[in-house]
Amino acid sequence: MTGTQGRGTEQHPRHRLDEVIHAPVRLSIVAALAAAERIHFGFLRDLVEVSDSLLAKHIATLEAAGYVQVTKGYEGKRPRTWFALTETGRAAYDAYRHALKLIMDGDAGAVPGSSQESSSDR
Partner 1 sequence: MDPRNAFEEIRRVDRRVRVNRRWYVLSSVVMAVALAAFYIGLKAFPGTANDLVLPWLLGTVAVLGLLGWQSRRAVDRVYGRWGERTALASLGLAIVTIVLNNTVVPDGLSVWTVLLGLLPAIPFLVLAWGVARQ
Q: Which of 28, 61, 69, 116 binds partner 1 (CB under 8 A)?
A: 28
Q: Which of 31, 65, 70, 95 binds partner 1 (CB under 8 A)?
A: 31
Verify binding: residue 54, partner 1, rule CB under 8 A: no
How many other CB atoms are there within 10 angstroms of residue 84's CB atom? 15
3 within 8 A of 15, measured Cβ to Cβ: no
110 within 8 A of 100, measured Cβ to Cβ: no
26 within 8 A of 59, measured Cβ to Cβ: no
Q: What residues numbered 61-120 form the site for partner 1, per CB under 8 A? A: 75, 82, 97, 100, 103-104
Applying CB under 8 A, the residues found at the interface with partner 1 are: 22-24, 27-28, 31-32, 35-40, 42-43, 47-48, 75, 82, 97, 100, 103-104
